[in-house]
Structure 1
Amino acid sequence: MDTTAEPIKLVIWDMDQTFWKGVISEEPVLLVEEHIQVLKELAHRGIMNSICSLNSFKQVKDMLEDHGLWHYFVFPEINWNPKGKLIKKIIAGCKLRPQSVLFIDDEPSHLHEARFENPGIRICTPDRIRTLPNLPELQGSPDPELKQLEKFKILEKSAKSLGTSGSSNVQFLKDSRICVDIMKDCLPHQERIFEMMYKTAQLNFTKNRISRDELLLLIEDASVDTGCIHVRDRFGDYGITGFYALKDNRLLHYFFSCRIMNFGVEQWLYHHLGTPEIQIAGGVAATLTSPAPPTWIMHVSLSDPEPAQSGGIRCLIKGGCDLEQVQHYLNFYRSFDWETEYWYLNENSDQLRNDHTEYIVQAPVYTEEQLDWLTRTFPFFDGGMLRTSMFEDRYDVVIYSVLLDYKAAVYRPKRYPEITLAFGSHYLPLTDESNFDLVIERTFIELDHSTLRTAKEELEFTGPLSAGKLVENLAWIRGKLPEKTVLILVNGSEVPIWDRAETDMHIHHAAMNAALRSFTEKQANTYLVDVGRILTSPQDHTDSVTHYTRKAYKQIAEAIVEIIEEKFGMDASLDSKDKREMKLMEMMMSEYVPSQYF
C-alpha cells in the first residue's frame, strides 16, 4: 500500500477472495474472522467502509446480513459495471477525495483500474489486511458508539432519495427541509471544531490551522465572533458540521464538514454574516460568490421542535412524474413521513424508469447473464433499477402509480424470450425504424440511430401491457407486500387529449382503468385513487393525457390523504399556516410541462 501522511477516511472492500475466501456466485464462501475484526475496528475508529464487488447485490447483501455485518458498510456498489467508475461513484457519494480512500482487491487489474479512474487513491492487496489497524493513516478517532457511521448512513439515505426522486437538485434541497443552527457557545464543541479544522480540506476556505490551546484562546476572545454550525434535515441530524471565526469583518476561520457538501450551507452562512472579507487559501469545492443566499435553508434554534417529523404513518411513493408533482402537495401533510422512489439514476446519471410492474415482478428471476447482456446492450436498462424498498416491513402505506404500465412498450429479447423489457411508448415501437427520430426527440436519455437499430434487431415488440397482465402483476405485488401495508394505486386519465404520436391513448387508459377498478374491489387492504373519474375535461391537462394541471395534482393528493385518514382513523387536515404555504407554492410554480416524454 502507498504510504502518506494524509489520513484515510474510507476503506472500500472487494468481497470475493478478499473480504471472504471463495467466489459467492460459484461456491459457498468462508468468512475470514480476522477481516471481520479489522472491519469493526476501523468503524470504531470513525473510518468508513464500503463495498465494490462484481457480484449479485442480493447474494452479497444476504451473506453479510446473515452475519450481522451489512450495516457496517455505506454506499455499496455491487453490480457488474467497471470497478474504476463504481469506486468514483462511492467516493463522490461519501463526498471525499481519492487521496482519503483505500481500496482493497485481490485482482491487480482492478487495483490499476481504480488508480486510473481515481488518481491519488491508495490500494492494497488482501495479504495486508491484518496490518491495516497498525498503519498511522488508519488510526482515526475513537468512536465507540459508531456516531460517524450513523452520520454517513444519513448521508447515504439523502443521496438515495435524490437519486430516486426525479426532482431537480434545487427542488430536492427544498424538499429536504435543511435547518441550520448557529451555536454561539463553542467551548463544549472545541474538540469537534479542532478535528474538523485538520480533517476538512474540500470545504476549508481559510486553511488557517492552529493548536488546541490557540483555538481555546480564540473561542474565549471577546473581540472575536465565533460560531459552530449544526445542520439537520428530514433525513437526520448531521451534528456539528461547520465553524467560523470573525473579527473586524474579516473571517479568520471558515470551514465545514464534507458531509454537508452541496447543501449550500457555506453560501447561506456567508450571506447571513454579511459577506465579510475572506482570504480563500488553495482549492475549495464550493463558491461564496452567489448573489443571494440559498432559499431552501431555514435558520432555527435547537430549542425549537424539529420540523416535519413523522407522525407515525410511513408512506412510500413510487411512480413517475404524476406522483412527483402530487408529492409537492403531500409534503404539506406533516402527519405522515413521505419517502419516494421515482427513478433509477445509473452511473452515467441517466434517469431510468423503474416503476413498470414487469420490472418489479421479474426482478427476482433475472439471471446474472441476462442482466449483464441487457445492461451492456441497452442504455435504457441497468440491473440496479430492479431494486425497490416497497416490500420492506417499515412502510404502513405504499402509493403506487401504474401509469407507466399504460404507456410503455413491452419487448421480448430474442435471445431471452422468457423475460421482458418496458421502454418508451407503445405507439412508437423501437422495431419500426420510421419511429427513430421521434423516439430520440422524446426520450430522457441519450440515444442514437445505431443504438436503436440494435434494439430493432434484438427485440420483439409485443405491444403495451395487457389489462390481464397488469392485474396478474399487481396481484403478485399485493401478495409480496406485508399484509398490514395499505396499497394505494393511482391510475390514468380517460380524457381525449390530442398528441401527434399517441392518438386515442385515452381509449387504452379506459380499458386498463376498468380492469384496475375490478381488481381493487376484490383485494384486501388495497385502494384506488381513480384519476379517470377525478379528471373530466381537457382543461384538467397540460400537453398530454398523462400530464395534469396544478389543480388536478392537488385533487389527487387530497384523494390519497383521504384514503389514509379513513384507513387509520385520523384527521390530517392542514392548519392555516400550511394552507397559506401551499397557496404560495401554487402561485410560484408554473404549470408542469415536461420537455421529455418517456
Structure 2
Amino acid sequence: MNLHGNHTGDNVQQTVEEVKVKCVVWDLDHTLWEGILLEDKQVGLREGVLEVIKRLDERGILLSIASRNDASQAMLKLKELGIHSYFLYPQISWEPKSESVKRIAALININPNTIAFIDDQPFERDEVRYSLPEVRCIAAEDISSILDRPDMNPRFITEDSRMRRSLYKNDIERKEDEERFSGTIEEFLATLDLDFSLYPASEGDLQRAEELTVRTHQLNATGYTYSYQELDEFRQSDRHRLWVAELEDKYGTYGKIGLALVECSEDIWTLKLLLMSCRVMSRGVGSVMLNFVMREARKAGCKLRAEFVENPWNRMMYVTYKFAGFQEIGENGNTVLLEHDLSAIQPFPDYIKMKTSKE
C-alpha cells in the first residue's frame, strides 16, 4: 500500500498536463458567439459552443468570461441567448484580459494553473500567457476539440461535480451577505445554522474522496493524492481511519468538503492527510476536523502526530496545526513531523452543530 499516494519525493507539484482544468474562461466576440456585438446586435452562438458549455458544466468545470466589451450590452445578449446563468463572476470591461483572469481566479479562489482561457485573437492569448504563463490558452478555432482534452475530463463525475456551479452560486450569496454584515466573523457564522458531519468513509464516498485529493491544493496539509483503489484499501484497513466531512447551512449544502486519513499503530496515530475545499476556508472547518481527530486519538489512548509537506499554496494548513497546539518534532526530507500531547483540546465552536455519523 502506497501511504503517500502520488507523492513524488521533493516535488509535490503536479505538472500542467496532470493538473485538471477547474474553470474555462471565455472571450465573447468571435469566440463564444459569431461576430462583434457592438457592430451587430444579432450575433449568435458559435456552432457547437452550447454543447461544450453544457458538457463542461456537467463535468463540474466552472465557466466564466473575460471580454473587452460593453458590460451591459454583453450581459443582455447572454441573457437573450439563455446562457448567462452558466458563468460565474463574468469580467466584461476594457481592461487587459490577464487582469480579468486574475480576478476570476481570486474570486473563485483557485490557482491560475487550473484555468483555461479561450480567445480568437493571438494577441489576447499572448497577453494572458505573458502575465499568467500557467494559464492554458486555447484558440477559438479549437473549441470543437475541448471536450476531448485529458485535462478537461475528470476521472469521475460525482454528485458534487454536477452541483459545483450551484454550490458556487450559493457561495456568492453567502459572501454578499457577509460583506453586508456589521458584526464579527463569529457573529456572522452564528447566523448560518452550520451543520457539520464527519463520518467514516463508505464505498459511495470514494469517488469524491479521490476528487478532493486531486483538486485540493491550498488546504491540503501534505499535497498527497490517492486513487480510488488506495482509498478503498485505507477504508477497509484496521490500521487506518478515513473520515469524510460534509457541511450545510441555511443557504444549502457545501457538499463533501473535507477528508482526513490517519495511520494507526499501537500507541501513535499519524495524520497522513488533512484537507478541505477552499470554499470553506473562512468557516473554521479545518480546526474542527483537527479537533475531532485529536479527540478520537485521545479516546484510543494514543499520541497524535501529523505530517506536513509545504508547497506554494498550503501554508495555511501549517498555521492550522500550530494554532491547534502541534509542535514540530522532526523532519524527514521535505516532510515536517508535528505532535500534539492532547492535554488541552479546544472545544468545538458554538456556531457549528456536529454530527459524527452519516445518518
Verify same fold: TM over 0.5: yes
Q: Which runs of 4+ in 1 moved over 6 A?
A: 302-305
- Give the aligned CA root-mean-square deviation in angstroms: 3.0
Greater strand content = 2
Q: Figure out how many residues of one structure are paired with residues of the other and give that number.
A: 304
What SS does the corresponding residue of 1:273 show, helix, strand or coil? helix
Cα distance in 2 for partners of 1:32, 1:258 equals: 34
Where does 1:222-301 land on structure 2 (aligned, <5 Å)? 222-246=238-262, 247=264, 248-274=268-294, 276-283=304-311, 284-286=314-316, 287-288=319-320, 289-291=322-324, 295=349, 297-301=351-355
- The percentage of aligned residue pairs carrying the same residue is 24
- Whether 2:170 is the aligned partner of 1:154: answer yes
Cα distance in 1 for partners of 2:102, 2:286 equals: 24
Q: 1:142 to 1:268 in 2, by over 3 A?
A: closer
Where does 1:305-320 land on structure 2 (aligned, <5 Å)? none
Where does 1:350-389 land on structure 2 (aligned, <5 Å)? none
Alignment-mate amino acid for residue 124 of structure 1: I
What SS does the corresponding residue of 1:261 show, helix, strand or coil? helix
Preserved CA contact (<8 Å) 2:291 2:348: no
Aligned counterpart for 1:97 among listed residues 75, 100, 111: 111
Q: 1:301 to 1:265 in 2, by over 3 A?
A: same
Q: What's 1:20 paired with?
A: 33
Q: 1:115 to 1:169 in 2, by over 3 A?
A: farther
Q: What's 2:87 paired with?
A: 73
Preserved CA contact (<8 Å) 2:198 2:356: no
Preserved CA contact (<8 Å) 1:93 1:159: no
Cα distance in 1 for partners of 2:105, 2:350 equals: 26
Preserved CA contact (<8 Å) 1:230 1:239: yes
Q: What's 1:85 paired with?
A: 99
Preserved CA contact (<8 Å) 1:74 1:156: no
What SS does the corresponding residue of 1:205 show, helix, strand or coil? coil
Cα distance in 2 for partners of 1:267, 1:202 equals: 15
Cα distance in 1 for partners of 2:187, 2:94 equals: 32
Q: What's 2:225 paired with?
A: 209
Preserved CA contact (<8 Å) 1:94 1:155: no
Q: What's 1:142 paired with?
A: 157
Q: What's 2:22 paired with?
A: 9
Where does 1:561-580 land on structure 2 (aligned, <5 Å)? none
- Whether 2:213 is the aligned partner of 1:197: answer yes
Preserved CA contact (<8 Å) 1:265 1:297: no
Q: What's 2:129 paired with?
A: 115
Alignment-mate amino acid for residue 280 of structure 1: F
Alpha-carbon distance, 1:185 to partner = 4.6
Alpha-carbon distance, 1:297 to partner = 4.6
Q: 1:294 to 1:302 in 2, by over 3 A?
A: closer
Alpha-carbon distance, 1:155 to partner = 2.4
Alignment-mate amino acid for residue 199 of structure 1: R
Q: 1:184 to 1:40 in 2, by over 3 A?
A: same
Cα distance in 2 for partners of 1:278, 1:15 equals: 47
What SS does the corresponding residue of 2:65 show, helix, strand or coil? strand
Alignment-mate amino acid for residue 27 of structure 2: D
Q: Which ranges of structure 1 fall in alignment gaps of 5 or more residues?
A: 306-598
Preserved CA contact (<8 Å) 1:182 1:228: yes
Alignment-mate amino acid for residue 34 of structure 1: G
Cα distance in 2 for partners of 1:252, 1:69 equals: 43
Q: 1:302 to 1:282 in 2, by over 3 A?
A: closer
Cα distance in 2 for partners of 1:168, 1:27 equals: 49
Deviations along 1:381-424, one digit per CA (max 9) or x if unpaired, are xxxxxxxxxxxxxxxxxxxxxxxxxxxxxxxxxxxxxxxxxxxx
Deviations along 1:427-485, one digit per CA (max 9) or x if unpaired, are xxxxxxxxxxxxxxxxxxxxxxxxxxxxxxxxxxxxxxxxxxxxxxxxxxxxxxxxxxx
Q: 1:303 to 1:3 in 2, by over 3 A?
A: closer
Alignment-mate amino acid for residue 299 of structure 1: K
Larger C-alpha radius of gyration, 1 or 2?
A: 1
Q: What's 2:62 paired with?
A: 48
Q: What's 2:75 paired with?
A: 61
Alignment-mate amino acid for residue 16 of structure 1: D
- Whether 2:275 is the aligned partner of 1:221: answer no
Q: 1:117 to 1:267 in 2, by over 3 A?
A: farther
Alpha-carbon distance, 1:55 to partner = 2.8
- Whether 2:52 is the aligned partner of 1:38: answer yes
Alignment-mate amino acid for residue 215 of structure 1: L
Cα distance in 2 for partners of 1:95, 1:169 equals: 19
Cα distance in 1 for partners of 2:125, 2:180 equals: 30
What SS does the corresponding residue of 1:254 show, helix, strand or coil? strand
Q: 1:139 to 1:21 in 2, by over 3 A?
A: same
Alpha-carbon distance, 1:282 to partner = 2.8
State TM-score, norm by structure 2.
0.74
Q: 1:263 to 1:137 in 2, by over 3 A?
A: same
Cα distance in 2 for partners of 1:20, 1:124 equals: 16
Q: 1:267 to 1:199 in 2, by over 3 A?
A: same
Cα distance in 1 for partners of 2:92, 2:315 equals: 28
Alpha-carbon distance, 1:14 to partner = 1.1
State TM-score, norm by structure 1.
0.46
Preserved CA contact (<8 Å) 2:210 2:228: yes
